[in-house]
Amino acid sequence: MHPNAEIDFRTTQCVQLFRLLQEIQPRDSGGDGGGGETVQEKVQAFMQKVNDDYSLDSNKLNVEEIISRIQDDSRGPYQNSFLQECEVMNFLIKTIVESLRDVDLAFKGELTMTENMETLMNAIFFNSIPATWSKYAFPSTRGLGSWLDNLKHRLDQLNLWKDNPQAIPGVTFINRLFNPQSFLTATKQVYSKEKQAELNKLNIQTDVLKKLYWETDLPPVKEGAYVFGLQVEGARWDPAVGQLEESFPKKPFSVMPVVNCRSVPLITDGKVDLT
Protein backbone atom coordinates (compact mmCIF):
# COMPACT_ATOMS: atom_id res chain seq x y z
CA MET A 1 0.00 0.00 0.00
CA HIS A 2 0.97 3.62 -0.36
CA PRO A 3 2.60 4.91 2.88
CA ASN A 4 -0.29 7.36 3.35
CA ALA A 5 -2.78 4.49 3.24
CA GLU A 6 -0.79 2.70 5.92
CA ILE A 7 -0.85 5.82 8.12
CA ASP A 8 -4.61 6.13 7.67
CA PHE A 9 -5.13 2.45 8.52
CA ARG A 10 -3.04 2.68 11.71
CA THR A 11 -4.70 5.93 12.74
CA THR A 12 -8.13 4.36 12.38
CA GLN A 13 -6.99 1.42 14.52
CA CYS A 14 -5.78 3.76 17.27
CA VAL A 15 -8.99 5.78 17.25
CA GLN A 16 -11.07 2.62 17.58
CA LEU A 17 -8.85 1.30 20.38
CA PHE A 18 -8.99 4.46 22.45
CA ARG A 19 -12.73 4.78 21.82
CA LEU A 20 -13.17 1.26 23.22
CA LEU A 21 -11.02 2.11 26.26
CA GLN A 22 -13.09 5.23 26.84
CA GLU A 23 -16.35 3.32 26.66
CA ILE A 24 -15.30 0.79 29.32
CA GLN A 25 -14.16 3.47 31.77
CA PRO A 26 -16.52 4.20 34.73
CA ARG A 27 -18.61 7.28 33.99
CA ASP A 28 -19.92 8.14 37.44
CA SER A 29 -16.68 8.56 39.37
CA GLY A 30 -15.89 12.10 40.40
CA GLY A 31 -12.81 14.07 39.52
CA ASP A 32 -11.54 13.85 43.12
CA GLY A 33 -11.34 10.08 42.84
CA GLY A 34 -9.05 10.23 39.85
CA GLY A 35 -11.69 8.93 37.47
CA GLY A 36 -11.96 12.12 35.43
CA GLU A 37 -15.14 14.03 34.65
CA THR A 38 -18.52 12.44 35.15
CA VAL A 39 -21.09 12.49 32.36
CA GLN A 40 -22.96 15.36 33.99
CA GLU A 41 -19.81 17.43 34.48
CA LYS A 42 -18.73 16.96 30.90
CA VAL A 43 -22.18 17.76 29.54
CA GLN A 44 -22.42 20.90 31.66
CA ALA A 45 -18.99 22.04 30.46
CA PHE A 46 -20.08 21.37 26.88
CA MET A 47 -23.29 23.38 27.30
CA GLN A 48 -21.29 26.27 28.75
CA LYS A 49 -18.97 26.16 25.73
CA VAL A 50 -21.89 26.15 23.31
CA ASN A 51 -23.36 29.22 25.02
CA ASP A 52 -20.10 31.16 25.38
CA ASP A 53 -18.13 30.23 22.24
CA TYR A 54 -20.83 29.58 19.64
CA SER A 55 -23.90 31.56 20.79
CA LEU A 56 -26.05 29.52 18.42
CA ASP A 57 -29.39 30.71 19.75
CA SER A 58 -28.56 34.40 19.27
CA ASN A 59 -27.06 33.78 15.82
CA LYS A 60 -30.16 32.32 14.19
CA LEU A 61 -30.96 33.85 10.83
CA ASN A 62 -34.03 36.05 10.41
CA VAL A 63 -35.29 34.62 7.13
CA GLU A 64 -38.23 37.02 6.86
CA GLU A 65 -35.94 40.02 7.21
CA ILE A 66 -33.57 38.62 4.58
CA ILE A 67 -36.46 38.06 2.14
CA SER A 68 -37.67 41.62 2.69
CA ARG A 69 -34.25 42.92 1.62
CA ILE A 70 -34.32 41.03 -1.67
CA GLN A 71 -36.06 42.89 -4.48
CA ASP A 72 -38.50 40.80 -6.47
CA ASP A 73 -36.50 41.16 -9.67
CA SER A 74 -33.30 40.17 -7.84
CA ARG A 75 -34.57 36.95 -6.28
CA GLY A 76 -33.28 34.13 -8.39
CA PRO A 77 -32.15 30.51 -8.04
CA TYR A 78 -29.06 31.41 -6.01
CA GLN A 79 -31.11 33.39 -3.51
CA ASN A 80 -33.58 30.53 -3.19
CA SER A 81 -30.72 28.10 -2.55
CA PHE A 82 -29.25 30.26 0.21
CA LEU A 83 -32.66 30.88 1.78
CA GLN A 84 -33.19 27.12 1.97
CA GLU A 85 -29.78 26.85 3.66
CA CYS A 86 -30.87 29.46 6.21
CA GLU A 87 -34.06 27.59 7.02
CA VAL A 88 -32.25 24.27 7.48
CA MET A 89 -29.61 25.96 9.64
CA ASN A 90 -32.26 27.57 11.84
CA PHE A 91 -34.03 24.25 12.37
CA LEU A 92 -30.77 22.52 13.31
CA ILE A 93 -29.88 25.30 15.76
CA LYS A 94 -33.35 25.08 17.28
CA THR A 95 -32.96 21.31 17.71
CA ILE A 96 -29.56 21.69 19.41
CA VAL A 97 -30.58 24.54 21.71
CA GLU A 98 -33.87 22.98 22.81
CA SER A 99 -32.37 19.56 23.52
CA LEU A 100 -29.57 21.09 25.61
CA ARG A 101 -32.06 23.28 27.43
CA ASP A 102 -34.14 20.22 28.35
CA VAL A 103 -31.05 18.46 29.71
CA ASP A 104 -30.17 21.55 31.76
CA LEU A 105 -33.68 21.64 33.22
CA ALA A 106 -33.38 17.93 34.04
CA PHE A 107 -30.13 18.65 35.92
CA LYS A 108 -31.99 21.29 37.93
CA GLY A 109 -34.82 18.89 38.73
CA GLU A 110 -37.41 20.82 36.72
CA LEU A 111 -37.85 18.04 34.15
CA THR A 112 -37.76 14.27 34.39
CA MET A 113 -34.66 12.72 32.83
CA THR A 114 -35.71 10.67 29.81
CA GLU A 115 -34.00 7.96 27.80
CA ASN A 116 -33.50 10.39 24.90
CA MET A 117 -31.75 12.83 27.23
CA GLU A 118 -29.44 10.12 28.54
CA THR A 119 -28.60 9.06 24.97
CA LEU A 120 -27.79 12.67 24.13
CA MET A 121 -25.58 12.99 27.22
CA ASN A 122 -23.68 9.80 26.43
CA ALA A 123 -23.02 11.02 22.89
CA ILE A 124 -21.60 14.29 24.23
CA PHE A 125 -19.51 12.38 26.75
CA PHE A 126 -17.93 10.31 23.95
CA ASN A 127 -17.48 13.36 21.68
CA SER A 128 -19.95 11.93 19.17
CA ILE A 129 -22.66 13.74 17.25
CA PRO A 130 -26.05 12.96 18.87
CA ALA A 131 -28.36 11.09 16.52
CA THR A 132 -31.14 13.64 17.08
CA TRP A 133 -28.82 16.34 15.73
CA SER A 134 -27.24 14.44 12.84
CA LYS A 135 -30.75 13.57 11.61
CA TYR A 136 -31.22 17.21 10.58
CA ALA A 137 -27.59 18.04 9.88
CA PHE A 138 -25.05 17.55 7.14
CA PRO A 139 -23.26 14.19 6.63
CA SER A 140 -20.10 14.14 8.72
CA THR A 141 -17.61 11.77 10.31
CA ARG A 142 -16.12 14.47 12.57
CA GLY A 143 -15.99 14.36 16.33
CA LEU A 144 -18.49 16.56 18.14
CA GLY A 145 -16.06 19.41 18.83
CA SER A 146 -14.85 19.59 15.23
CA TRP A 147 -18.44 19.23 14.02
CA LEU A 148 -19.52 22.28 16.02
CA ASP A 149 -16.61 24.28 14.61
CA ASN A 150 -17.71 23.30 11.12
CA LEU A 151 -21.30 24.25 11.93
CA LYS A 152 -20.08 27.69 13.02
CA HIS A 153 -18.18 28.11 9.72
CA ARG A 154 -21.35 27.27 7.80
CA LEU A 155 -23.30 29.77 9.86
CA ASP A 156 -20.63 32.43 9.27
CA GLN A 157 -20.97 32.00 5.50
CA LEU A 158 -24.73 32.49 5.69
CA ASN A 159 -24.31 35.53 7.94
CA LEU A 160 -21.95 37.09 5.39
CA TRP A 161 -24.41 36.41 2.59
CA LYS A 162 -27.36 37.97 4.42
CA ASP A 163 -25.56 41.34 4.46
CA ASN A 164 -26.06 41.52 0.69
CA PRO A 165 -28.66 38.86 -0.15
CA GLN A 166 -29.27 40.18 -3.67
CA ALA A 167 -25.84 38.89 -4.71
CA ILE A 168 -23.92 35.68 -4.14
CA PRO A 169 -20.46 35.45 -2.56
CA GLY A 170 -17.52 35.94 -4.89
CA VAL A 171 -16.42 32.45 -3.85
CA THR A 172 -18.89 30.04 -2.25
CA PHE A 173 -17.60 27.39 0.14
CA ILE A 174 -19.56 24.52 -1.33
CA ASN A 175 -18.41 22.21 1.46
CA ARG A 176 -20.25 24.47 3.93
CA LEU A 177 -23.66 23.98 2.33
CA PHE A 178 -26.24 21.50 3.59
CA ASN A 179 -27.33 20.83 0.01
CA PRO A 180 -24.51 21.55 -2.46
CA GLN A 181 -26.55 19.99 -5.26
CA SER A 182 -29.16 22.72 -4.86
CA PHE A 183 -26.50 25.37 -5.45
CA LEU A 184 -25.26 23.59 -8.59
CA THR A 185 -28.84 23.24 -9.81
CA ALA A 186 -29.22 27.01 -9.34
CA THR A 187 -26.26 27.45 -11.71
CA LYS A 188 -28.10 25.45 -14.35
CA GLN A 189 -31.36 27.34 -13.70
CA VAL A 190 -29.66 30.69 -14.28
CA TYR A 191 -28.14 29.44 -17.54
CA SER A 192 -31.45 27.90 -18.59
CA LYS A 193 -33.24 31.22 -18.13
CA GLU A 194 -30.57 33.23 -19.94
CA LYS A 195 -30.17 30.86 -22.89
CA GLN A 196 -33.74 29.53 -23.03
CA ALA A 197 -32.37 25.99 -22.68
CA GLU A 198 -34.06 22.97 -21.16
CA LEU A 199 -32.84 22.30 -17.63
CA ASN A 200 -32.63 18.52 -18.09
CA LYS A 201 -30.33 18.99 -21.08
CA LEU A 202 -27.64 20.83 -19.16
CA ASN A 203 -24.54 19.60 -17.38
CA ILE A 204 -22.18 21.21 -14.87
CA GLN A 205 -18.67 21.73 -16.19
CA THR A 206 -15.89 22.32 -13.67
CA ASP A 207 -12.87 24.42 -14.61
CA VAL A 208 -10.13 24.28 -11.97
CA LEU A 209 -8.32 27.60 -11.62
CA LYS A 210 -4.78 28.11 -10.35
CA LYS A 211 -5.82 30.46 -7.55
CA LEU A 212 -6.93 29.93 -3.97
CA TYR A 213 -9.93 31.83 -2.63
CA TRP A 214 -7.91 34.31 -0.56
CA GLU A 215 -5.77 35.49 -3.47
CA THR A 216 -6.71 39.04 -4.40
CA ASP A 217 -6.00 38.68 -8.13
CA LEU A 218 -8.71 36.06 -8.64
CA PRO A 219 -10.27 36.83 -12.04
CA PRO A 220 -13.94 37.88 -12.02
CA VAL A 221 -16.39 35.11 -12.77
CA LYS A 222 -17.87 35.30 -16.27
CA GLU A 223 -20.22 32.31 -16.20
CA GLY A 224 -21.54 30.18 -13.36
CA ALA A 225 -20.03 30.55 -9.91
CA TYR A 226 -16.74 30.10 -8.11
CA VAL A 227 -16.67 27.40 -5.42
CA PHE A 228 -14.02 26.36 -2.94
CA GLY A 229 -13.64 23.70 -0.27
CA LEU A 230 -13.11 20.56 -2.33
CA GLN A 231 -10.33 18.18 -1.31
CA VAL A 232 -8.71 15.21 -2.99
CA GLU A 233 -7.93 12.12 -0.90
CA GLY A 234 -5.33 9.62 -2.01
CA ALA A 235 -3.90 11.99 -4.60
CA ARG A 236 -3.01 15.65 -4.99
CA TRP A 237 -3.88 18.35 -7.46
CA ASP A 238 -0.85 19.84 -9.18
CA PRO A 239 -1.81 23.39 -10.23
CA ALA A 240 1.32 23.72 -12.38
CA VAL A 241 0.13 21.08 -14.85
CA GLY A 242 -3.58 21.11 -13.98
CA GLN A 243 -3.98 17.42 -13.22
CA LEU A 244 -3.91 14.83 -10.45
CA GLU A 245 -0.57 13.49 -9.26
CA GLU A 246 0.57 11.04 -6.59
CA SER A 247 0.24 12.24 -2.98
CA PHE A 248 3.21 13.61 -1.10
CA PRO A 249 4.30 11.45 1.87
CA LYS A 250 2.30 12.10 5.06
CA LYS A 251 -0.13 14.35 3.18
CA PRO A 252 -3.20 12.22 2.38
CA PHE A 253 -5.36 15.22 1.47
CA SER A 254 -4.87 17.92 -1.13
CA VAL A 255 -6.89 21.14 -1.21
CA MET A 256 -8.28 22.00 -4.61
CA PRO A 257 -7.96 25.56 -5.92
CA VAL A 258 -11.04 27.61 -6.73
CA VAL A 259 -13.31 25.82 -9.20
CA ASN A 260 -15.52 27.57 -11.73
CA CYS A 261 -18.77 25.62 -11.94
CA ARG A 262 -20.73 26.56 -15.05
CA SER A 263 -23.52 25.10 -17.11
CA VAL A 264 -22.99 23.64 -20.57
CA PRO A 265 -25.34 21.84 -22.97
CA LEU A 266 -25.53 18.07 -22.55
CA ILE A 267 -23.37 16.12 -25.00
CA THR A 268 -24.90 12.91 -26.38
CA ASP A 269 -23.25 10.67 -28.98
CA GLY A 270 -20.48 13.20 -29.44
CA LYS A 271 -22.94 15.99 -30.32
CA VAL A 272 -24.16 18.95 -28.32
CA ASP A 273 -27.87 18.53 -27.63
CA LEU A 274 -29.53 21.90 -28.26
CA THR A 275 -33.03 20.62 -29.01
Task: Note the pLDDT of residue 24.
Answer: 76
Q: Are 263 and 188 in contact (CB under 8 A)?
A: yes
Please state which of the ranges 18-32, 67-81, 179-193 shows the lowest mean pLDDT.
Answer: 18-32
39-61 residue pLDDT tens = 899 999 999 999 888 888 888 99
Q: What is the 3-state secondary structure (H, E, C) of the chain?
A: CCHHHHHHHHHHHHHHHHHHHHHCCCCCCCHHHCCCCCHHHHHHHHHHHHHHHHCCHHHCCCHHHHHHCCCHHHCCHHHHHHHHHHHHHHHHHHHHHHHHHHHHHHHCCCCCCCHHHHHHHHHHHCCCCCHHHHCCCCCCCCCHHHHHHHHHHHHHHHHHHHCCCCCCCCEEEHHHCCCHHHHHHHHHHHHHHHHCCCHHHEEEEEEECCCCCCCCCCCCCCCCEEEECCEEECCEEECCCCEEECCCCCCCEEECCCEEEEEEECEECCEECCC
CATH number of 35-165: 1.20.1270.280
Task: Note the pLDDT of residue 28.
Answer: 62
**Residues spanned by CATH 1.20.1270.280 within the chain?**
35-165
Report the predicted TM-score, pTM, of the whole model to 2 decimal places: 0.85
With bands split at pLDDT 50, 70 and 90, how would you rate the model's confidence at 73? confident
